[in-house]
Amino acid sequence: MPEEQLTVQDLSESELLARIFPRLNHSPSILLGPGDDAALVAAPDGRTLISIDTQTQDQDFRLVWNNGYRTSGYDVGWKAAAQNLSDINAMGGSATSLVVSLTMPPATAVDWVEAFADGLTAAIRALGAPDCSVAGGDLGSGREIAVTVAVVGTLSGMAPVLRSGARPGDVVAVAGTLGRAAAGWALLESNVPLGTLSAGLLGLIDNQCRPVPPLSAGPLAARAGASSMLDVSDGLLRDGGRLAAASNVVLDFDPVALKIHSLPLEPAAALLGEEAISWVLGGGEDHGLLATFPAGIQLPQGFTAIGSVQAVVEPPGSGVRIAGQAADTVGWDHFAD
């Protein structure tokens, strides 16, 4: 029987782990790796950043999408690493390790799990997190695939960049892409067959399945003096609203600057009969950075200005505007309609 047909129920936990471990990279931050009840990771400045994120089958991805695309283990591993690395990036830090919990049905193919490990490693390398590797994990069974990654990282002695530091007069800037992952999601969910898509449109699906957060931009922003920052995981309006609320300011976006992000999405929007700007404003999962900088600071490499921070006028209070006009919050909420 070809090895591709092995499923995880055919192996013991230790046999499965023995197939995963050789596929992981090793960074010097890991003082003690997998094999004991906990791993030990360097925290050179006496502090550690920590965050956690879960992806669940049929909520965050489909194994087979409406347009025929099949989510690979590689995709899920890549995305799990990317979205966690992005959370450290958004604080101005650098990731030092991941711990990974993988829950899956017993009938899951072993090669899916191996590809998952490959995806984790590939994302760590390709996105540029050289000090990071997988320090440990947990395997379990469930009715659906669920991946939870916790990430720890270091600020290298710097102060964290918070959501709450934006001040009137600051410049609003973004690094990375906006709306591409949402356009990819719309294509995946559409009735347009995968085989008919151009390379440009397939690239949008790549952004959804294997996002490319700009990992060098976070520490650069911190060093440049960013006054606030977060990663855009739930949409520019929603995440911008969170930053505005935490800072008690108004973020006013420049529609011309937003258009730079929506124009490349017009072919996909035309194909699907949707509005490209709604993906730019409402789409998350590109894991770009939204940051504010005091006026007069040269924006660090990778950032472009998309608006300005203004003082709150009551009413309507803190929030997001586009050229001074109210912008409805259309980003992702996990439970509410």
- Footprint of a copy of itself on 93-112 (CB under 8 A): 93, 97, 99-101, 103, 106
Between the alpha carbon of residue 39 and those of residues 30, 31, 134, 251, 311, the distances in Å are: 8, 8, 10, 41, 46
Cα-flanking dihedrals φ and ψ of residue 112, to 5°?
-65, -45
**Distance of closest approach, residue 214 Cβ to a copy of itself, in angstroms:** 14
Q: Count of residues binding a copy of itself (CB under 8 A)?
A: 74
Please choose, out of 20-28, 134-142, 251-259, 297-305, the segment that lies near a copy of itself by the rule CB under 8 A.
Answer: 134-142
Distance of CA 298 to the CA centre of its chain: 26
Check if the beta carbon of residue 145 is closer than 8 Å to that of residue 7.
Answer: no
- Footprint of a copy of itself on 249-308 (CB under 8 A): none
Please choose, out of 31-39, 191-199, 277-285, 302-310, the segment that lies near a copy of itself by the rule CB under 8 A.
Answer: 31-39
184: closest CA among 66, 299, 74?
A: 66
Q: By rule CB under 8 A, what string of x and - marks binding of each residue 220-239 to a copy of itself?
A: ----------xx--------
Give the torsion sign (CA, 244, 245, 246, 247).
Answer: positive
Please choose, out of 72-80, 142-150, 173-181, 198-206, the segment that lies near a copy of itself by the rule CB under 8 A.
Answer: 142-150
* Rounded distance between C-alpha atoms, residue 270 and residue 275, angstroms: 8
Indicate whether 247 belongs to the interface with a copy of itself (CB under 8 A).
no
Indicate whether 58 belongs to the interface with a copy of itself (CB under 8 A).
yes
Distance of CA 329 to the CA centre of its chain: 20
Indicate whether 157 belongs to the interface with a copy of itself (CB under 8 A).
no
Nearer Cβ to a copy of itself (144/305): 144
**Distance of closest approach, residue 155 Cβ to a copy of itself, in angstroms:** 7
**Distance of closest approach, residue 159 Cβ to a copy of itself, in angstroms:** 10
* Rounded distance between C-alpha atoms, residue 146 and residue 76, angstroms: 10
Query: If DSSP codes are grouped into helix, strand and coil, which group holds residue 132?
Result: coil
Amino acid at 61: F
Indicate whether 310 belongs to the interface with a copy of itself (CB under 8 A).
no
Indicate whether 129 belongs to the interface with a copy of itself (CB under 8 A).
no
